[in-house]
Amino acid sequence: MTNNDTKPATDFIRSTINAHNQSGRFGGRVHTRFPPEPNGYLHIGHAFSICLNFGIAEEYGGLCNLRFDDTNPAKEEQEYIDAIIEDVRWLGFDWDDRLYFASDYFEQLYDYAVTLIKDGKAYVDQLSPDEIREYRGTLTEPGKNSPYRDRPIEENLALFEKMRNGEFGEGEAVLRTKIDMASPNINMRDPVMYRVLHTPHPRTGDAWCIYPMYDFAHGQSDSIERVTHSLCSLEYADHRPLYDWYLDALGIFHPQQIEFARLNLTYTVMSKRKLRRLVEEGHVSGWDDPRMPTISGHRRRGYTPEAIRNFCADVGVSRSNGVVEIEMLEYHLRQHLNKTSPRVMAVLNPLRVVIENYPDDLTENMEAVNNPEDEAAGTRKVPFSKVLYIERDDFMEDPPKKFYRLAPGREVRLRYAYFITCTDVIKDDDGNIIELRCTYDPETRGGTAPDGRRVKATLHWVSAEHALKAEARLYDRLFTKPNPEDDSEQDFTAFINPDSLEVRDPIYVEPSLADAQPGDRYQFERIGYFAVDPDSTGDKLVFNRTVGLRDSWAKLQKQKK
Ligand code: ATP
Ligand code: MG
C-alpha cells in the first residue's frame, strides 16, 4: 500500500488521518509513536495504545517510533526501560532503528526554552511551590500574575542558566511560560516548563539538574521526530491547546494530537501507581505475577500476543471512557489457544484407579490426537497401565440424576484407551475414598465397543507409573468486584481476592511433557489452558492456569439479551 491510499475509516482517528491524506497536510505521511514513561511495567492498557499506534502506522504504510518519555528521573529506572522494550517486541511490533528517548533531546529542548525566553514568552519564577499553587487559582477563579513575571529578558536568561548550572535548590526556581493566568484552561496559566531536580537520570547521569515537564517535552519530541499523528488518551485533551501553543510559538513542525478513551477492564486496576502498590505491598509476587494485568504478567500466565492484539482490535477506539468486560479478553485468548495449543492429559485432583483385570506388567502406548483443530499437529503415544489416576471430581459414590461420569457399577470411556466399569470403592478409616477398583473391556481399545454399546462420559487419565509429578497454580480474579476503584470509603486493596491463587501439588501430567520449557502452552484436556512457568526446574514442572475452557463471555452476552 502506498502512503496516499485512503482506507475506509473505521473510527474517528482513521477518518482524521484520511482527511489529512486528502488535504495533503502531512504530504500523505503517517508517522506515530508509542511514548511510555519508564516508571513501571506496561499493562494491558498500554498494549491497547501500542496496537493502535503501531497498527495504524502499518495500515497506512507509515512508521511508528518507540520513544521513552523519560523526563522524571525521580521515578524512572533502567529495569523498566528494558522490560518495556521486551514487552513491545513480544507483542509483535518493530521500530527498526527508531528507538528514541526524550532525554536525547534535552539539549535541544533547552535551546527551545531559551528561544521562548528571548521572545519574551518565558520567565524564571521564584515563588515557592505553595505560592505557585495558590497563585494558579481554581476552576472557578482566575489565577494571578507572579511578581517575577515581568522580569527583563536578560535577567531570565541569566537565571535560567544558573538553574542549569545547579545554583538553585529544588523548589527555589522554575521556568514558566508566559501565557494567561486568567485562562479558563488551567494548563494555560503560565505552565511550568522546567523544574530543578538534583537527581541523576538513568541515561544522562549528572549532566542535568533541571528537567523539562511533560508538556514542554512531549510535543517538541514529536516535532523533532516528525511524528504526524500524536495519539494519546483523553486526559490529555485539555493539554492540547498547550501542545499546539508551544509548537506555534517555536514555529517548528506541527504534529496533530488526537485523543482516544483509555482501555479499562473489569476486575482490574490499570494505573502503574496502583500496580506498583500491589507489588510493593506484597499482594502479588512481582510485576510479572500471572495475576497482574501487566504485559509481562499476561505473558507468564500463558497469553499469546495474538490474543491480546485481537482483543485490542475488537475493542476498537472510542471517544468516551467505558469499561470492557474481562471476559472479552478471555474470549480472544481461548479462541487463539484453541487453535494453537497441543492437548495433553493431566490430573489436577488425583484419585487412584486400579484396573483389576489388566495385566500387572503391561504398558500399552495409546495414540492420542495432539490438536483436533490442527491436523498437522499429528499424534503422540500416551502410556496406559494397570494403575491410573483420574480426576476426583469424575467419580461420585452416590451420583445425582445428571451426573454421567464414573460411579459404582457404571461404565465410562477412558479417552484414547478403554471402557472401564467401577466395581469397588476403597476407603480409609475416616471414610475418605482413596482408591477405585475397576475392570476394563479389552474389546474396547481405542474407545469404541464392537457391539456398539455406548457410554455417557469420557474421562481423562494418566498412568500412575509413567506420569510426571508437577505443580499447578490456579488463578482466579485478583479482585472480588468488577470495579475495585469505585468505593469512596475503601482503598482498592480492600477488594483483593484472598483466593486468587490456589496451588495444587502434586498434580500428575502425562510423560510427553518431560521436555516442556518455560513459556510452552498446552490444553489440559477437559480442564483448561496451562503454560509452563519459569519457576520450573529440571525436577519439577510448574504450570500456570492461563484460563479455563468454559466460555464465560458467550454466557455473559446471552444473559444481556
Ligand atoms: P498509567 O497511569 O497507567 O501509569 P500513563 O498514561 O501514565 O499510564 P505512560 O507510560 O505515560 O502511562 O503511557 C504511555 C502511553 O500509553 C500514553 O500515550 C498513554 O496515553 C497510553 N496509555 C496508558 N494507559 C492506557 C490505557 N489504559 N488505555 C489506552 N492507552 C493507555
Ligand atoms: Mg504518565
In the listed set 233, 260, 287, which residue is the last one of a domain according to the structure? 260
Q: Look at the block and give the residue holding cell 478403554.
A: 418
Q: Could you tell me if residue 266 is inside a domain?
A: no
Task: Say if ligand 1 is within 6 A of residue 272 CB.
Answer: yes
Q: Is residue 174 located within the same domain as residue 254?
A: yes
DSSP per position, 339-376:
HHPPEE-EESSEEEEEETTS-TT--EEEEEES-TT-GG
Number of neighbouring beta carbons within 10 Å of residue 509: 25
Task: Say if ligand 1 is within 6 A of residue 249 CB.
Answer: no
Q: Is residue 232 located within the same domain as residue 118?
A: yes
CATH number at residue 307: 1.10.1160.10
Q: Is residue 338 located within the same domain as residue 350?
A: no
Q: Could you tell me if residue 351 is inside a domain?
A: yes
CATH number at residue 358: 2.40.240.10
Helix (H) or strand (E) holding 529: strand 528-532
Predicted local confidence at residue 554, as pLDDT: 67
Rounded to the nearest angstrom, the distance between the alpha carbon of 272 and the centre of ligand 1 is 9
CA 84, 86, 88, 92: dihedral to nearest 10 degrees? 180
C-alpha cell at 270: 490499570
Look at residues 119, 439, 87, 110 and name the one whose alpha carbon lies nearest to residue 294. Answer: 87
At residue 236, the 3 state secondary structure works out as helix
Distances (CA, A) of 173 to 73, 125, 194: 18, 6, 9
Rounded to the nearest angstrom, the distance between the alpha carbon of 298 and the centre of ligand 2 is 21
In the listed set 236, 260, 284, which residue is the last one of a domain according to the structure? 260
- Give this prediction's pTM: 0.95
Active site (annotated) includes residue 330 = no
Q: Could you tell me if residue 467 is inside a domain?
A: no
Helix (H) or strand (E) holding 299: helix 295-301
Q: Is residue 113 located within the same domain as residue 139?
A: yes
Rounded to the nearest angstrom, the distance between the alpha carbon of 268 and the centre of ligand 1 is 15
Look at residues 87, 472, 490 and name the one whose alpha carbon lies nearest to residue 292. Answer: 87
Best mutation site among 233, 268, 292 for ligand 1, i.e. most ligand atoms within 8 A of its Cβ?
A: 233
Mean pLDDT by 10 residues, the chain (561 residues): 56 97 97 98 98 98 98 95 98 98 98 98 98 97 98 98 98 98 98 98 97 98 98 97 98 98 97 97 98 98 98 96 96 97 98 98 98 96 98 96 96 98 98 98 96 97 98 98 94 97 98 97 98 96 96 69 66
DSSP per position, 31-76:
EEEE---SSS--BHHHHHHHHHHHHHHHHTT-EEEEEE----TTT-
CATH number at residue 23: 3.40.50.620
Q: Is residue 363 located within the same domain as residue 282?
A: no
Strands 387-391 and 350-355 turn out to be antiparallel
**Cβ(66)–Cβ(98) under 8 Å?**
yes
Q: For residue 50, which atom of ligand 1 is closest to its CA?
A: 16
Task: Say if ligand 1 is within 6 A of residue 261 CB.
Answer: no
In the listed set 460, 493, 517, which residue is the last one of a domain according to the structure? 460
Predicted local confidence at residue 1, as pLDDT: 41
Predicted local confidence at residue 364, as pLDDT: 98
Q: Is residue 30 located within the same domain as residue 88?
A: yes
Look at residues 276, 296, 236 and name the one whose alpha carbon lies nearest to residue 44. Answer: 296
Look at residues 304, 350, 320 and name the one whose alpha carbon lies nearest to residue 467. Answer: 350
Number of neighbouring beta carbons within 10 Å of residue 231: 24
Active site (annotated) includes residue 262 = yes
- Per the structure, how many domains does the chain have? 3
Predicted local confidence at residue 439, as pLDDT: 98
Q: Is residue 67 located within the same domain as residue 208?
A: yes
Predicted local confidence at residue 553, as pLDDT: 66
Q: Is residue 28 located within the same domain as residue 109?
A: yes
Distances (CA, A) of 144 to 133, 138, 148, 182, 184: 11, 11, 12, 7, 13
Q: Is residue 211 located within the same domain as residue 84?
A: yes
Rounded to the nearest angstrom, the distance between the alpha carbon of 561 and the centre of ligand 2 is 38
Q: Could you tell me if residue 7 is inside a domain?
A: no
Active site (annotated) includes residue 118 = no
Beta bridge partners of 543: 472, 532
Task: Say if ligand 1 is within 6 A of residue 312 CB.
Answer: no
Task: Say if ligand 1 is within 6 A of residue 232 CB.
Answer: yes
Q: Is residue 38 located within the same domain as residue 182?
A: yes
**Residue 532 Cα to chain centre, angstroms:** 18
Q: For residue 235, which atom of ligand 1 is closest to its CA?
A: 20
Q: For residue 42, which atom of ligand 1 is closest to its CA?
A: 10
What is the span of the domain harbouring residue 505? Answer: 272-342+472-560
Q: Could you tell me if residue 238 is inside a domain?
A: yes
Does residue 530 come out as left (phi exceeding 0), alpha (psi in the -120 to 50 range) or beta?
beta
**Cβ(385)–Cβ(469) under 8 Å?**
no
Task: Say if ligand 1 is within 6 A of residue 102 CB.
Answer: no
Q: Could you tell me if residue 466 is inside a domain?
A: no
Q: Could you tell me if residue 397 is inside a domain?
A: yes
> Catalytic one among 25, 37, 58, 86?
37
Pairwise CA distance, residues 368 & 345, whole Å: 10
Look at residues 459, 460, 423 and name the one whose alpha carbon lies nearest to residue 438. Answer: 423
Task: Say if ligand 1 is within 6 A of residue 37 CB.
Answer: yes
Q: Is residue 355 located within the same domain as residue 372?
A: yes
Pairwise CA distance, residues 533 & 521, whole Å: 10
List, in order, residues 6 or more apart from 147 with CB less than 8 Å away. 127
Q: Is residue 61 located within the same domain as residue 163?
A: yes
Rounded to the nearest angstrom, the distance between the alpha carbon of 194 and the centre of ligand 2 is 17
Radius of gyration of the chain (CA): 31
Predicted local confidence at residue 558, as pLDDT: 72
Rounded to the nearest angstrom, the distance between the alpha carbon of 163 and the centre of ligand 2 is 25
Q: Could you tell me if residue 174 is inside a domain?
A: yes
